[in-house]
A and B are shown apart, each in its own frame.
Chain A
């Protein structure tokens, strides 16, 4: 019995060590973001009880750089991507889940293939295409490719779920004279809320966290999303202002951490069912 207890305790010990590595870095960032920048560089481990300050956030948000604007840009880009992806993937997944038609397997193959492209393998022709369409440097120039990159995942996730829904409700709705669109938006959509939520959060996360595409397409500071602008700031300030840097990291990470803890069930489920994308 005691031997078993030791085993169990050591299992918890190992798991706790890894847990500390995954959460302590964020706690460190958070406590230091409320410290005076001269305190961070000598004493970064203590909790700022006496010297609590919001200066770092103030200088990050109201300083020389338009972080507000960057936040807004991120929200415009990722919000639009989520909206368009959900809209078109709802119709597509409905078609795949409910209809039998020739070429359905081909469509599946196309969708799976489109989850495989590394962005590296399309970026140069994409850049030229966006220049030709006069979209380079504009939000739409990031939104459209991001929709293309995420739509296959959302469609496959949603079609799997819609297929598993019981048929009886729709059947009676059809008998009562409802049309396809009424069935889709009044019956299927409300029943698929949890899957739609998974897809939405997941697409938002990818879009918000993407650096490569946004960095290449949006080079003007007023158009940049939050992660690209913060990288820009850090390379210009050369890491001299610790307070600003810590607040900057906190500013990118906090919205995601909040969203994550509120909706973690949907996120973990969505990410694993979208495992193919990697």
Chain B
């Protein structure tokens, strides 16, 4: 029936052509480009510069800031976004009614484009007429300059908060699917032995979904390295002086506003490398845990 050895390749050919031409080829060229000095984005005769671009980046204080910010964001994502998703999933897994209502509503922000969400949060944060300040007035309080560039920590949190908020529902659904897969016999046995809800969560459910947690960590880390849209809309250009840049937004600025294509290419290589490195570290941590 399905004996042919050539037909499957023929069927797969279009896919392989697409990913080769538009993914693997540009990825390879990008690594090559990172070793050259470009004067514009379409510079035809770049000059070889070795690892200068990489050295330039590591000596650039805004790059260091954008890297640190991304690391902070990864930590926040793992603690608050993934943590909250796990707690919400544990709670939904024990209720009898409305579970699907929570599932559908928690997931909603993920289907909305980050551009729309960014514009929406800008309307919330606006000083003169924003939703938050209208709320402050109704509560009889003074208006607050939410996006005050001087208060850099608050501005960072208000820019990154929506990033955290948007994807909670995604990890929530993954956790919930895993929790619902735990056999009810195990739960019942624990209940008979007198385990409380919290004990069951800590000692049975969370350890049992460890493989899923590992996948979620990798997804969360690589996903955070790709964050661009929301910060680009809420605090464009790492406003005010690049203090709020993430790797993605700063790379964009380097390439399209300052035309340093070689540096931006080195930047892209570092982002891809960081993804592999961080996922590897996270896998390693979980692997060690498994042996305990």
- A and B together in one complex: yes
Q: Which of B7, B22, B91 contacts A15 (CB 8 A)?
A: B91
Is the Cβ of B42 less than 8 Å from the Cβ of A128?
A: yes
Task: Report the minimum CB–CB distance from B269 to chain A (whole Å).
Answer: 7
Is the Cβ of B18 less than 8 Å from the Cβ of A278?
A: no
Is the Cβ of A23 less than 8 Å from the Cβ of B105?
A: yes
Contacts A12-B98, A211-B228, A211-B232 aside, 13 further interface pairs with beta carbons under 8 A come to: A22-B105, A91-B12, A96-B8, A114-B24, A116-B275, A119-B226, A120-B268, A121-B27, A121-B271, A122-B22, A235-B236, A257-B112, A271-B173
Chain B residue total in the interface (Cβ 8 A): 96
* A126 CB–B CB distance under 8 Å: yes
13 pairs from A and B in contact (CB 8 Å cutoff): A22-B108, A44-B134, A114-B19, A120-B247, A120-B272, A124-B255, A129-B21, A131-B42, A145-B22, A230-B116, A242-B123, A253-B116, A278-B220
Which residues of B are found within 8 Å of A257, using beta-carbon distances?
A: 108, 111-112
Is the Cβ of B29 less than 8 Å from the Cβ of A91?
A: no
Which residues of A are found within 8 Å of B91, using beta-carbon distances?
A: 11, 14-15
* A83 CB–B CB distance under 8 Å: no
Also in contact, A99 and B30, with CB within 8 A (given A249-B119, A260-B108) = no
Interface residues of B in 1-43 (CB under 8 A from A): 1-2, 4-5, 7-9, 11-12, 14-16, 18-19, 21-27, 29-30, 33, 41-42
Task: Enumerate the 6 nearest inter-chain pairs by beta-carbon distance, A residue then B residue, closest first.
Answer: A148-B22, A41-B129, A95-B8, A209-B113, A125-B26, A125-B29
Which residues of B are found within 8 Å of A92, using beta-carbon distances?
A: 11-12, 14-15
Q: Which of B2, B29, B106, B269 contacts A22 (CB 8 A)?
A: B106
Is the Cβ of A41 less than 8 Å from the Cβ of B11?
A: no
Is the Cβ of A88 less than 8 Å from the Cβ of B18?
A: yes
Task: Report the minimum CB–CB distance from A97 to chain B (whole Å).
Answer: 9
A118, A147, A170, A231 pick with most chain B CB within 10 angstroms? A118
Is the Cβ of A91 less than 8 Å from the Cβ of B22?
A: no
Also in contact, A99 and B7, with CB within 8 A (given A120-B271, A257-B108) = yes
* B248 CB–A CB distance under 8 Å: yes
* B197 CB–A CB distance under 8 Å: yes
Also in contact, A100 and B2, with CB within 8 A (given A227-B113, A231-B233) = yes
Which residues of A are found within 8 Å of B134, using beta-carbon distances?
A: 42-45
Which residues of B are found within 8 Å of A49, using beta-carbon distances?
A: none
Complex CA distance for A156 and B18, rounded to whole angstroms = 15
* B79 CB–A CB distance under 8 Å: no
B101-135 vs A, CB cutoff 8 Å, 1 = contact: the mask equals 11111111111111110011011101011010011
A160-179 vs B, CB cutoff 8 Å, 1 = contact: the mask equals 00000000001100100000
Query: Which of the segments A25-33, A56-64, A191-199 contacts the partner chain?
Result: A25-33
* A256 CB–B CB distance under 8 Å: yes
Q: Enumerate chain B interface residues (CB-CB to A < 8 A).
A: 1-2, 4-5, 7-9, 11-12, 14-16, 18-19, 21-27, 29-30, 33, 41-42, 84, 88, 91-92, 94-95, 98, 101-116, 119-120, 122-124, 126, 128-129, 131, 134-135, 138, 165, 168-170, 173-174, 177, 197, 215, 219-220, 222-223, 225-226, 228-229, 232-233, 236, 247-248, 251-252, 255-256, 261, 264-265, 267-269, 271-272, 275
Which residues of B are found within 8 Å of A28, using beta-carbon distances?
A: 131
Complex CA distance for A18 and B225, rounded to whole angstroms = 26
* A157 CB–B CB distance under 8 Å: no
Chain A residue total in the interface (Cβ 8 A): 99
Task: Report the minimum CB–CB distance from B43 to chain A (whole Å).
Answer: 10
Is the Cβ of A267 less than 8 Å from the Cβ of B228?
A: no
Q: Enumerate chain A interface residues (CB-CB to B < 8 A).
A: 7-8, 11-12, 14-15, 18-19, 21-23, 25-26, 28-29, 40-45, 88-89, 91-92, 94-96, 98-104, 107, 110-111, 114, 116-129, 131, 144-145, 147-149, 151-152, 155, 170-171, 174, 180, 205, 208-209, 211-212, 216, 227-228, 230-231, 234-235, 239, 242, 245-246, 248-249, 252-253, 256-257, 259-261, 264, 267-268, 271-272, 275-276, 278
Task: Report the minimum CB–CB distance from B158 to chain A (whole Å).
Answer: 14
Also in contact, A114 and B111, with CB within 8 A (given A15-B102, A246-B123) = no
Which residues of B are found within 8 Å of A45, using beta-carbon distances?
A: 134-135, 138
Which residues of B are found within 8 Å of A94, using beta-carbon distances?
A: 11
Which residues of A are found within 8 Å of B92, using beta-carbon distances?
A: 15
Also in contact, A122 and B27, with CB within 8 A (given A15-B102, A22-B105, A275-B215) = yes
